[in-house]
Each structure stands twice: as C-alpha cells, then as structure tokens.
Chain A
Amino acid sequence: MTALALDGLSVTLGGTRVVDSLAAHVGEGEWVALIGPNGAGKTTALRAVAGLVDYEGHVRMFGDDAVTLTRRQVARVIALVPQVPLIPGDITVGEYVLLGRTPYVSYLGGESRADHAAADAALEQLDLTSFRCRRLDTLSGGERQRATLARALAQDAPILLLDEPTAALDVGRQQQVLELVDSLRASRGLTVLSTMHDLTLAGQYADRLLLLDQGKLVAAGSAEDVLTRPLITEHYGAEVAVIDAPGSGFVVVPVRGRIVDGAQRRL
C-alpha cells in the first residue's frame, strides 16, 4: 500500500519555485531518501509533506488528501524530526517526550494513562528511561537527538519524516542513528522519508533514492540507478568516483582534480 503519495507538489517561497511539480510515492514500510545539492528543495519538500508550508498539488497519506485532514489528524499520521530541533533546555527528557502526545490530547486537557504509556515506551525503546528526569541542556548532542526521536516515536505516527538525521554527527553516531531508525522501522512498521546529505549512507540505508535538483525530481530508483558518476557530476557539480564496494553498497568518493586512478570506477 502507498503510505505517502506526492502529486504535482510545488512550493514557491519569496517568488522562487523551490519545489517544482514533484511526483513521488513511498510504500508502506519503505525508506525513501531525498538527495540533492544544497538548495535543491529537499527540506522544503519535507516541510510541505508535514503541512508546514503552503504548497500546490496534492499530498496523500494512506489515500487521504492532506487538505481534507485537520492539523491534529495530520500529526497523528506524520511525525517530523527537524534537522536542528529547538531544544527547551530547562525541561526534562520525560516532559519533552510527552509533548509527542500532543495530537491526542484535547485542547485544554491533560495526558491520559495511555499517553504516558506511549511516552514511556518511546523512552524505553531509545534507551532513555534513565534520562527521564535529566534536563535537556545536560545532554550531549547525540543524546538530544535520541530524545527528539523519542518524541517523534511517542507521536505514534506511521510515517516518520527525518530532515538530515546525521547532520553534525561523527561517523560512528551517524551509523548508530541510521541503524536505530532502521530497527524502529522494522519493529514499528514505520514508513520513513528522509533527506540525506551523505550519498553513501543514503544508498546504504534507503530502499530508494529521489534526486532533486533546483526543485525538480531528476532521478529516482535504487542506489545503483541514482548514485552514478554522470548524475552526481551533473547535479552536484562534483568530481566523484563511485565504487561498488562489496558489503558497503555504492561508495561515493570525492576525487581531487580530474584524474581518477586506481579505484574501480563505475560509469
């Protein structure tokens, strides 16, 4: 079943068409990565899907057009983890994760027992139970990101949107976060749409890649189809070699100068 279908999605910001007639679908349980150079419109496309920016065209979630859903209904289907979440330092991890239950709590009401149970489950799944009473400003960057992920999980939404989940993390933590997302996807049956900066990691974790350039979808498919030297050279303006490394998928390596020797080049 299609979890997310984008049809002619366009976003105009300040007179510039940032996302241009994007058409794509994400199957239930699939992980799709939006890749593309800086300013390609990846993040804006993600924000449009979450309903945070005005757009033309259609966003359908499990068949329902987003315009027919209230903000709260959308928040029960889609959870967003922004690239740089605003962290209120003086509240605790437990209080923060509980905010993920907001779409289920009435306007002036309080959380039910079920809401607390969902937040507890998210804390446990991300190994944050012992952090419950810690203030957010005492956490490390990686721990904060886990807290934000836990908040998104507490939202109990079947679709998870991740904006650059590995930005500003070292290589080990990048792997940990992506493995974590992948295991959550398996255990909770989540559908994941993420923007990704690192092409190699995108190819390793996502089922399919969508390459955007200047707001337009220019290539879509598996890592093998999209992570090719001509496509990356054309759209990133980068000189790269793509190495088919057994066990690692397709590794995109920047190449200095025009001469590429030694590596098994894939053209």
Chain B
Amino acid sequence: MSDGFDDIQAIFFEECAEGLACAEQGLTAMAAGAASADVVAAVFRAVHSIKGGSGAFGHDALLAFSHSFENLLDAVRAGRIAATPAVAQVMLAALDVLSDHVAAAQGKAALPDDAVALAALETVLTGGAAPVPAPVAAPVAMPVVAPAGDDFDFVPVGVDLDLFDDLTAPAVEAVSEPGWRVRFVPSRAALANGGEPLLVVRELERLGGIATVVAPIAVPPLRDLDPEGAYLGWTIAMPGTVTEQDIAECFDFVVPDAVIEIVRDAPASMPAPPQPLPLPAAIECDSCPPLPPEVPAAPTEARTSDSQTQTIRIDVAKLDMLLNLVGELVIRNSILSDRLAPVDQQRAELPQLTRLTREIQDNVMSLRAQPLRQSFSRVPRMLRDLCAETSKRVALEISGENTEVDKSVIEKIGDPLTHMIRNAVDHGIERCADRIAAGKPAEGRLTLSAEQRGARIIIRVRDDGRGIDRARVLAKAIEIGLVAPDAVLTDEEIDQLICAPGFSTAERVSNISGRGVGMDVVRSNVEALGGRIEIESQPGVGTVFTMILPLTLAILDGMIIRLAGQRYVLPLASVVESVRPEPGQVRRVTPGAEVIELRGEFVPVKRLGDLFAMRREAAPSPEESIIIMVDSDAAGRVGLMVDTIEERREVVIKSLDRHLYPIRGLGGATILGDGSIALIMDVDALVAAVPAAAAKYTMKGLAA
C-alpha cells in the first residue's frame, strides 16, 4: 500500500514542480513590471496548491513557509499591496526558498533556512497591508474533518484556522473524559435504500463527534465499482459527555446489515485526535512515518489516501485510443452481424458478443465522464478577480455542477465559459450606481447552471445586466461591412452578430474582454463540439447565453431514416413519436408552411428534403411519407417528413470537422454496418434554420 501512497505523493511533487515553474514565470513577469491580475492569480494558485498538498502529506515545514508566502500573495492579489517589481523580487527570493523546501520534502535536500525569507515576506506584508492573522507556525494543527468532495486540488485541506478551530476544540476536551469510539460501516446498498450515511455522520458531528478515520471497505476494481454503492467506513470519536442512548439514536434509521460499534474508550487511549486506530483496510500504515508528536498527520493522510487509493492517472490519449478502438469494435460487430445469414444471427454467440461489446463501450464511456464541477470550480475565483478589476459587485449562483459530461467536452468548454462570464461581467452587469439608478439591487447576479436534457447538456450563463445594446451592435456591424446598411434584421439576428467572425466593437473592448477569446471563437469552439450557442437578451433585464452540447462526443442512440435514397440518423433523444399521415391530415397553411393535425392539435411539419434544400422531382406525398415528431428547444414540437424509418441503432459519431468543418444542421456522421456513411442530424439547428439560408447551396447528387 505504501507504493500507492508514494505514487500519489509523486503526483503531488509533480504538481509542485509545475506550480513552481508557473509561479516563477508569473513572478518574473511581475518583476518586469507586467503584473496583471491574471499573473498574480496564477502565482497565488500555484503556491496555494503547494500549500494544500503539503498539508495533506504532512510536510509541515513546507506548509508553514508556503502559508506565509500565500498570505503575501493574497494581499497582492486583493490589491492591498501593490505588485511592484520590488515586491516581486522579494517573492522571487521566497520562491527559491520554497523550491528548496519542496526538495527537502522530497528528501533530496536538507531543510533550508527560511528565516531571512520569512522575515522579508513579513516585512512586505506588514509594511503595506492591513494586519493579517494566521501565525506562521500554527497551521500544523491541521484539519481533522474536511468537507469531502471538493478536494480537486487539495484546497480544502488548507489551513483556514477559523474554520477548524471550533472543530478541533471539542476533540481536545474529549481528552479529559473517556470518550466514545463509534465505528460505522453502512451497508453496500445504503445509498440505494435511501440510507445516506453522511446524514448519520453529520448527526454524530452535531453531537460533538469527530470523524477521525475514514477508510474504504473492500473497494472493488474500478470496472466492478458500483458508483452508487457505499464503500466507506467511518470511525468517529464522540465526547464522553454524550450518552450511549443519544449515539444509538443516530443509527435508528440505518439498516441492520450495517456495522455499528459503539465502544467507550479507555481514558488513557484518547489523545486529541486518536493515534492510528485499527483500520479496516490498513491503507496508510506503512506510509505514515513514525512521528509520535505530530499526531494530526495520521487522520489527514488517511483521508487523502482514502480518496485516492483506487485512482490512477491515465494519459487521456490512451483513453481516447481505447475509445476509438471500441468504436471500431462496435462498427465491426454490426458489420459482422449484417454479413451473417439470418439463421446465424440468431445463434447465441453473436448476441453475446454484441452485449459484451456494448458493455465495454459503456465502461469506456463512463471512464471519461466527469462532473462539470471541475469547470465550474474555477468560476468563483475568476469572478472575484473580475469584480475587483471592474469594481462591480456580482453574486454568483451555481447549480447543476454534478452533471457528468464526457471529459473531452469538459476540456473544451473551459475557454468558452470563461469568455461568457467575462462578457457578462464586463458588458452585461452595470456598475453599482447605474444599477441603483435603474432600480435594481446594487449587487449584480450571475447564474451559472447546467442540466442534462436527453443526450444534450445545457449550460447557461445568465446575468441580470443591461442586455445587448442592439443599436450599437447593428451600427458596428454595418460599419465593418458585416451587414448591408439597409438590412432589416430581427433582434435575434442582431444578437447573433456578436458571434460573427471578426466582430468586435472597439469601444467595448476592455482589458478584460479584449484579452480573451472572441465570441466567434466561443461559437466555433461550441460548434466544433457538435453543439450550438443561443443568445437571449432583454434590454435592461439581462442576457442569457446558452451552450447546448452533446453529452458525449462518441456514441449516439439514433433512429435511422431514409430520404431520397440516403440514410440519416435522427438522435432518438429528440424523437417523440412517428406518424403515418392519413389523407388530409397534413394541410398546407401557406404555400411554404404545412401543419399536421394530431389529436386535435396543429403541429408544424417540415419536409426534411426542403430543409436540406434538395430538389426532388418525385418527392413522395405526405401520405407516402412518415412524419416524425421531434422536440426542439428552438421551435418546440415539429414534425419532420421523411420517406421511411429503417431501424433504431447506436451509432458512433464521427465529427465532420475532423476532415472538413462543422455543418449547420448536422451533428456529424456515422459509418453504418455496411460501411456506408449516414449523416447525423442536429434537430434543433435543423428546425431552427431559416430555409432561405439553407437554400444557399443545393445538394449535389440529390438533385434528381
């Protein structure tokens, strides 16, 4: 087990090296006089991560020094101390000491003498800043309980003493009386049965309990891991003043097959946080160094290794390769199935192979799914920085951060998201005074939400600012020749202009929005993912940017339809039903618009051939066609008229931009069992598209 721990520690040191390099770069820039908030923030983050990790791994000297360093950086970041080259020089010197500390923690060098650097940091800090608490040596008294779940970069393991003071206090008291030791291992199916173990733990904590050890119980390999299974056991120290009855009551609603042990500790064996207790799965026994006085290291290490034991870091490229191969396997499997005689297709082996292939595919896909929290967690800090820069006040509201998305999607939404938020703060939300004048609360509100809808993920950035100034956008667009001076555009079309390539209203570019990517890049990023972006703006009320993205970039559950001899894939997620119209059920309302009467309601019908601007001479009549009712965000329920439906099938999405570029109305292409290509339709973009725009080009080869 120590190997596993060493590996994690090795990752930490890798991150230290990255952080040091990053900090070095930033401080050098600062010393050269280029101290933007981004630079300071980057250095701060780097040092902060080192501090967090060092705490988790029990490198106290490193922790103490990085903490002091961070204090100064925080003051600089908040603007209490100007980021002058002189300050940067002090920090560069401190950085050298910090890297020595890292080397010492790795066992490569002796502990450096940091007194001079510490004194220098302290001088700068007190010289130009409000008094900062947090004594240097204190952080050793480290977290006993840290909120689990959001420890992506070890941050919560940090040393906010105020936060932990009240938690550590009862533990110290407990020394005087013999306390209780409660061991609680929920049943594997606890979560499925509604027996959320955390509630029990919280209840115990409310009684003054402290979870001293959290250990995984028989965690299976990742493949067999049931994500909804409970694999953790807690050992909770309770103060002696609590009665056994009270403790037992906490477990009232726990199912009988959970392990619950309530034992009164012998008075002597209860030091503040207990010495390593007999752990169910002795994860960190080898790894926790024999350091008798530094007790807090034990629980901290236990916690860290718990959350990491069963995790390995894999090069994403390897995952991608695996995914591609599995995709090919799925295609080969269906080619094979198509080639076999029907009687052979029925044999047991083929369905088994198909099922196995599906399972592999599902597993590989799940390996890549990650919660959006990762992208969202950067937002609050970014927003704070933005507010500081623009001297605006903005409250952030985040929801849906647990929505899981394919890793490749997460990676690629970072930049668009950043830009949309910058845009919202810089252009959308007004200054406090303006807001009050407009009768709004002084504090702006930015809502970041994510939700999964079918096979799509919807991410919204909503602000309650002034909305898009359409007159100005239009004027600028005419000025730079994007639209003809006499063009009449709808509000939506004007809003879309801000996404046009090369569009930038010079007077609107500030050091915030001008620095990042432009909205056209946002749009092309999103479209490259097979998604699209929608803008909704109401003057004076606010703007909503909506990114609609596919959940995964790899696999789609689709309905294969036929149109003019070609096969197309309609994402099943948007299909509601299919109808074979009776004569007279489809009626023309205007020469260009048809509706279908369905159970007393009139639903617009679009001929897919028209949407694709095909010129078909012998197009089948509605009675010879099938109408597929689809739900779309843009146009609500719409009927799509196609020739026939072939089958339902999972298809592997091949993006068109790999060798071409994204095409509106298409979400990609797929290769069918016989090796031919079917285009995948993006229903929303398709029904929302203005037919005139689609008619710009005709489809070659389909003209007959």
Partners in one complex: no
**Which B residues fall within an 8 A CB radius of A?**
none
